[in-house]
Amino acid sequence: MKKVTAALLMKENKILIEQRKSTDKLAGKWEFPGGKQEDGETLEECLRREMNEEFGIGSECWRVLWRKYLSL
């Protein structure tokens, strides 16, 4: 089972979303920033790494809003 994270970033009543790259399997679709958890990292560390990789910004997990484990 893969675990993923997603960030909900809000500023001045605006929410940050990103559009998937044209080379991506789901090209053009919109999503919240985040990604797959790597071995040995917590979900919070995963989100921090993804925010740095995708946007070059440092971040801190302020609050976990929802945590659900699914097996598909």
pLDDT in tens, 15-48: 989 999 999 999 999 999 889 999 999 888 888 8
CB 45 within 8 A of CB 39: no
Q: What is the DSSP letter of 11?
A: E
Q: What is the pLDDT of residue 68?
A: 64
Structural domains of the chain, with CATH: 4-55 (3.90.79.10)
Q: What's the count of helices (H) and strands (E) in the chain, helices before strands? A: 1, 6
Asked if pLDDT for residue 60 goes beyond 80, the answer is no
**What is the torsion angle, in degrees rounded to the nearest 10, for the CA atoms of residue 10, residue 1, residue 24 and residue 55?**
30
Q: What is the DSSP letter of 42?
A: -
Q: How confident is the model at residue 59 (pLDDT cuts 50, 70, 90)?
A: confident
- β-strand pairing of 34-36 with 4-6: antiparallel
